[in-house]
Structure 1
Amino acid sequence: MTLLLAPAALCGCSLAGGGQAGDAGAGDDWPYRGGDVQGSHFSRLTDIDKGNVGRLGLAWSHDLGTNRVQEATPIVVDGVMYTSGNLGRVYALDAATGAPLWTFEPEVDMQANRAACCDQANRGVAVSRGKVLVGTLDGWLYALDAKTGKVAWKADTITDRTRGYTITGAPEVAGDVVVIGNAGAEYDVRGYVTAYRLSDGGQAWRFFTVPRDPKLGPQETPELEQAVGTWDANSRWDIGGGGSVWDAINYDPRFGTVYIGVGNGGPYSVGTRSPGGGDNLYLSSIVALDAKTGRMKWHYQETPQDGWDYTATQPMVLADIEVDGARRPVILHAPKNGFLFVIDRETGKPLRINPLVRTSWTDGYDLKTGRPRMNPKGSDYWNDGPKIVFPGSPGARNWYPPAYDPGRNLYYAAVLDMGNLMFVPPSDGTPDTRRPKALNIRTSLIFTPDLEAALPTLPPPVQEQVKKLREWQWVKEKPYSSEIRAIDPLTGKARWSVSAEGWQDRMGMLATQSGLLFHGTIGGKLVVRDADNGKLLKEIDTGSSIMAAPMTYRVKGVQYVAVATGFGGGGWAYVPRYSAAYSHGNANRILVFRLDGGPVAKPDPLPPLEVAAAPPPPLPGATPATIAKGQGLFFANCAICHANQLRSATPDLRRMEPGTHQAFRQIVLEGLLLPNGMPRWDDLLSPADADAIHAWLIDEQGRLRARELKLKAEGKPLDAPSLAILSNF
């Protein structure tokens, strides 16, 4: 690891955070990633208001030195800003000036990139009792001295390093412990969360979210004995079951409870994962755990029998609202599955369940039982063949934080109404075995806006079925809508809504008591709206894509608004043409604003594209069958990172230079570029497999070069399309 320390790092700070209850909404400090212990992303500060927000300008900025995903919201305590970057980097900055105090660069095993479905994301730090807590992509939890950045302790959170575990979420301090989950449900993992003692990093407790194979003997806990009966005894235990807790961990000091949101199953298809069906507890559930012991208090499964990647790992808000004439402590939660839930924090009973988007997997919930009314005709792709399912796997809501204003009783959130085609790829006759540290989804996904582009790449029998499915009214009339909404949590109805730039324009929210709503856009704008009606009040073009939630704080009487910039996350390799990352590069910065600040310096536009280099001659012995095999292997193993698209964070492999072609086997099989983040694949791919992928890429490069030479001759821009979006997992 590398630790960069500036002299100013010797400043003192009390760092009194770590799970103390307070009024809803942050004040001068922003001591939690959600601002307050409730996770509301709401501020009581009112210095910046509707009357003066037009004067907002840049106070300072800090270059994070990277060009990947930024999803964290900074924390500010006693005039010091702490924030994380991709992989688990940590930055400590003077919150008034931006002067760097220290930077922590962890030593990360870059082979972990192979098990990172959704980029090198890190969603933030926790700060408590003189320590800054952060998880790294390769599964280590670090406690850093808040004054110096030096490592106080580190803990290995991974139970089995032969499997595809990573960390992308933020730790949560719960009294004397810090709780962290792992990502990896798309790979070959069995989910869990672990609590470590804040004092020394020793393990306090661990809660598994998925049972183990009953053939191994009794389950580790009574909770798992309860769960195992909801799984087929012949489930794909070898793959792990999924259920990773990659985000959505909240501590409730009032009840001494840790609430966790549990992820999707692996493989996606229930017919593959648990052939006999069953609810498959505790997938896609909220589980309430005793903070001291880790024992379960209650659970509520938002999506029983999940087969659609409907994780419950989306951010929760703890609130006290009036329901049916009584004020109740509740969780406000909008998971991927298309509904907004109001759940009693004491009992786990759902009090309200309202749809936010179109849903084809269910026509609603029975509030008495809390169970959905399933619609297998609209969603059972594992038995009935390809289906277009609403909402799609990106979710009606995802990781990007909402904001909740308790005074207005409004829940502000970005909402995506989009479906995706889902089908189990035809078998090629090979045995279906676990692929270690690799995708084990066994399901193909194509989002509704991409159906036409992907159609020619589908297997012929699937093509014919999809041609009929695309005539569905939902698909033809509105393949998607992406909106920012102010939602009444008890009805799910929008008080107001405005359209976002595109379906990938996902963004976090900040609401303030002065009636402002802040958010970014991946087009590069910091936007300020009237929280009462959505009216645009201020827009600042930063030239950098913004997805992370802004935050606000006050130092020495001056209120600041801060946000991190950087595109990435799910679908990170497909950079939208309307994004600032596409036109200006993916600059990672912390931008901080104040009244009467200055302009923002935009990154320089990216240079025009050059015609693809001439490919080498075809590989010896390469046949059309070899090339077809290479295409299948590419989409099964490579496409999730290498979209082969302009402006992506990873190289367009249709533009390889001669040296890269010459070293292709060494790169893929021997880890030649492992320090750059390219993992090795020799455990899954043979030399013949690598050659087949290479043969297909050579063929693709020839096609691309011919197309671009023609465009150049016609005087047209070289705006080459990406490969069709087809993920044969």
Structure 2
Amino acid sequence: MPLGAGENWDNPGGDWGESHFSRLETINPGNVSRMGLAWEYDLGTSRVQEATPVVIDGVMYTSGNLGRVYALNAATGEELWTFTPELDMQVNRFACCDQANRGVAVSGDKVMVAALDGRLWALDRATGEPVWSVDTVVDHTRGYTSTGAPEVAGDLVVIGNGGSEYDARGYVTAYNIADGSQAWRFFTIPHDPAEGPQENPELVPALETWSEETRWDIGGGGTAWDAIVYDPKFDQVIVGTGNGGPYPQAVRSPGGGDNLYLNSLVALDRETGRMNWHFQETPQDNWDLTATQPMILTSLDIDGEQRPVILHTPKNGFFFVVDRENGYAHAANPIVRTNWADGFDMEAQRPNITMEDADYSNGPKIVFPGSPGARNWYPAAYDPTRDTYFAHVLDMGNLLFLPGPVDNVERKEKALNAGAAIIFTPDLEAAAATLPPPLRAAVQAQAAWEWVKQKPFESQLRAIDPMTGETKWAVEQLGWQDRNGVLATQSGLVFHGNVAGTVFARDADTGEALWSIETGSTIMAAPMTYMVDGVQYVAVQTGWGGGGWGFVPRYSAAYSKGNANRILVFRLDGGQVAIPEDLPPLQPAPEPPEQFADATPEMIARGAAMFTENCTMCHSNQPRAGLPDLRRMNRGIHGGFQQIVRGGLFVSRGMPQFEDLLSEEDVHAIHAWLISVQGPLRERELELQEKGLPLDTQSLTILSNY
């Protein structure tokens, strides 16, 4: 089997095992301090960048938000061609985690990308012209999107979809690379048995793990939005599946059950799509603990025998080493605090679930890890020469509670159907103080409250032993939102960026920073490396976004300098990076119009609730958030508010139309609430301006001290 990840980096994961590991050694600990900028390319956007580029024979191919594709000369950055998919911007309404795209697949003369609306495109590798495209969405009445990179498996390309929170049912589809015709499709969870036979025979036993009262109408979840990898040794495609939808099992599958194949690794025969084996990492999911995080394929010595394995660190807090031949877990060790399970039963091959600590169907519960996950989409790297796994790890929880009764939940078409409310532990002590006394007492009486008080979160880059889960070294990150992908090299280096815009090269054995360079652009994506004409380069894409993308951390470059989307490429003896200028100082909010004559306290409260439900996914109402802070609307925007929200006036700018979801009265109430908060915001900011204080929301908390 070829090793890969030499001069070429032929898929987003680098080599055949997608280990984000390079065997190049020109750049090494002895000379890495000489690195500087070789070239940069402006991606022409200011949204999320999560892709790792592909480089083959001196050409770089990469994707940007929405599924844009770029082909560049890998030695100079010269643009060869670009592609922007045509898509209905209404898809923004049900893209839970921004307009992300995690990369392209290259096979023969084609470059393939999945656009946000679920259409898979095959482009001519030389020109970027479309060769074929296919709509991968099975039901457009549901909130399907695509954000992951397609996976090449022989003469097939495989892609999944996102949307578990939005009423979707998961599946993956394989298409023939030659012409885009469908080869097979595998649904990850059953459908309502009243609607007829299941599409796949493996769904028949899976159905027994769902209750008879299952809310099939809401969707069920299990979407495969990332983590699809081809295993050539067994000619199988291994798929990581997503969370249940809605989150609470008491709503989704009343009466319980493991709910297969949620939160599982599923191995499918490449030719037929039939299942070889499955391994469920989080049975009975209530907590959004997906198994869609990137997998790495390798071999490890286990009891004196080399076994083909998967290294997998899903959201649920465990490090799994799973046999690729049969799905058996050789190791399952916690790497963060977990209280949804207190360990893993190796004999039973399942976690020891502790529902008394994590079942929030009868009251709020603090659950570790939280829904952002101990690990998430940002790739890890595995160095087989050191038997070390390098990854960002987030040790954080959240408070989960039901916003209403479990027996009175209606499906919301192509809208959020998560069914649970969440407060992350970094904010929990402050939030708990505002809760009604009985509820506050119930939260603070939980054992996990001590965890919150001792350490609300820990965000680290770690070097981990795969079989034991033990940390060899760790480096603290700037905050819980500072999460990033990793590149490891055979020369003994680990590369990563951070949200403040610094790129680091660290000693793989100690974690010591051997080199760093400031870029002024937030970095989340994993770097990669390649060689052209004997010169080794290291490249990374920059841009803030993803889950919680509207809540831009103040320690990020995106907050202070804007969200510059660039490809930055470094080499030995390169130059300096051009740093974007600071954004201009924030000005006080404009004076709002007069409040509506019919605006009652009840209407304003209703508007606040509807804004939270329908608008906060994009409009976090924080300064520097990337999309407009609607507390800062000028008179013209106020005047056209109904036309913008219901009439689609700004659809061309990416603002979806809500006429089918919100009535004029609904929008009127939302508008009334925005007017009610804009005036006080302006007054507070004028006072801050008088005192010479910065006008961000963090500064408002210190106003009482002056």
TM-score range, shorter chain: over 0.9
| 1:423 aligned residue (397, 401, 413) | 401
Q: Deviations over 1:326-359 (max 9, x none)?
A: 1100000000000000000000000000000000
Q: Which residue of 2 aligns with 1:180?
A: 159
1:416 is aligned with what amino acid?
Answer: L
Structure 2 distance, partners of 1:88, 1:623, is 44
1:456 CA drift (Å) = 6.8
Change (3 A) 1:564 1:509: same
Q: Which residue of 2 aligns with 1:4?
A: none
Change (3 A) 1:718 1:659: same
Change (3 A) 1:460 1:654: farther
Structure 1 position 572 matched with structure 2 position 552? no
Structure 1 distance, partners of 2:385, 2:21, is 10
| 1:526 aligned residue (503, 522, 531) | 503
Q: Which residue of 1 aligns with 2:60?
A: 81
Tell me the secondary structure at the aligned position of residue 217 of structure 2: coil
Q: Deviations over 1:409-449 (max 9, x none)?
A: 0000000000001000135x995221111000110011011
Q: Which residue of 1 aligns with 2:173?
A: 194
1:277 CA drift (Å) = 0.4
| 1:593 aligned residue (567, 570, 573) | 570
Q: Deviations over 1:77-135 (max 9, x none)?
A: 00000000000000000000000000001112110001111000000000001100000
Structure 2 distance, partners of 1:241, 1:403, is 32
The question of whether the paired residues in 2 share the 8 Å contact of 1:511 and 1:517 is answered with: yes
Q: Which residue of 1 aligns with 2:94?
A: 115
The question of whether the paired residues in 2 share the 8 Å contact of 1:643 and 1:722 is answered with: no
Tell me the secondary structure at the aligned position of residue 453 of structure 2: helix
**Structure 2 counterparts to residues 381-396 of structure 1, below 5 A:** 381-383=360-362, 385-396=363-374
Q: Deviations over 1:33-59 (max 9, x none)?
A: 100110100000000000000000000
The count of residues paired between Structure 1 and Structure 2 equals 701
Q: Which residue of 1 aligns with 2:534?
A: 557
1:455 CA drift (Å) = 4.4
Change (3 A) 1:73 1:103: same
**Structure 2 counterparts to residues 380-459 of structure 1, below 5 A:** 380-383=359-362, 385-426=363-404, 432-455=409-432
Which segment is superposed worse, 473-482 or 698-707? 698-707
Q: Which residue of 2 aligns with 1:90?
A: 69
1:298 CA drift (Å) = 0.3
1:470 CA drift (Å) = 9.6
The question of whether the paired residues in 2 share the 8 Å contact of 1:73 and 1:564 is answered with: yes
Structure 1 distance, partners of 2:183, 2:291, is 24
**TM-score normalised by the chain length of structure 1:** 0.94
CA RMSD between the two structures: 1.6
1:665 CA drift (Å) = 1.3
1:465 CA drift (Å) = 3.4
Q: Which residue of 1 aligns with 2:704?
A: none
1:686 CA drift (Å) = 1.6
Q: Deviations over 1:350-396 (max 9, x none)?
A: 0000000000101001011111111112100013x001100000000
The question of whether the paired residues in 1 share the 8 Å contact of 2:251 and 2:409 is answered with: no
Structure 2 distance, partners of 1:567, 1:722, is 23
The question of whether the paired residues in 2 share the 8 Å contact of 1:645 and 1:721 is answered with: no
Structure 2 distance, partners of 1:715, 1:46, is 52
The question of whether the paired residues in 1 share the 8 Å contact of 2:366 and 2:448 is answered with: no
Structure 2 distance, partners of 1:589, 1:479, is 33
Change (3 A) 1:629 1:470: farther
Which segment is superposed worse, 662-671 or 562-571? 662-671
1:226 is aligned with what amino acid?
Answer: P
The question of whether the paired residues in 2 share the 8 Å contact of 1:545 and 1:565 is answered with: yes
| 1:274 aligned residue (224, 228, 253) | 253
Structure 1 position 22 matched with structure 2 position 10? no
Structure 1 distance, partners of 2:137, 2:251, is 26
1:181 is aligned with what amino acid?
Answer: G
Q: Deviations over 1:181-223 (max 9, x none)?
A: 0011110101000000000000000000011011112211211
Structure 1 distance, partners of 2:407, 2:670, is 19
Which segment is superposed worse, 664-673 or 344-353? 664-673
1:684 CA drift (Å) = 2.1
1:473 CA drift (Å) = 1.2
1:563 is aligned with what amino acid?
Answer: V
The question of whether the paired residues in 1 share the 8 Å contact of 2:492 and 2:509 is answered with: yes
The question of whether the paired residues in 1 share the 8 Å contact of 2:522 and 2:556 is answered with: yes
Identity of aligned residues (%): 64
Change (3 A) 1:457 1:158: farther
2:202 is aligned with what amino acid?
Answer: E
Note the residue ranges of structure 1 that are not aligned, 5 or more in a row. Answer: 1-20, 725-729
2:114 is aligned with what amino acid?
Answer: G
Q: Deviations over 1:512-544 (max 9, x none)?
A: 000000000011000110001101100100000
Structure 2 distance, partners of 1:206, 1:723, is 53
1:720 is aligned with what amino acid?
Answer: T
The question of whether the paired residues in 2 share the 8 Å contact of 1:164 and 1:189 is answered with: yes
**Structure 2 counterparts to residues 257-296 of structure 1, below 5 A:** 257-296=236-275
Q: Which residue of 2 aligns with 1:343?
A: 322
The question of whether the paired residues in 2 share the 8 Å contact of 1:286 and 1:300 is answered with: yes
1:642 CA drift (Å) = 1.0
Tell me the secondary structure at the aligned position of residue 382 of structure 1: coil
Q: Which residue of 2 aligns with 1:657?
A: 634
2:216 is aligned with what amino acid?
Answer: W
2:648 is aligned with what amino acid?
Answer: G
Change (3 A) 1:217 1:507: same
Structure 2 distance, partners of 1:196, 1:69, is 27
**TM-score normalised by the chain length of structure 2:** 0.97
1:531 is aligned with what amino acid?
Answer: A
Q: Which residue of 1 aligns with 2:16?
A: 37
Note the residue ranges of structure 2 that are not aligned, 5 or more in a row. Answer: 702-706
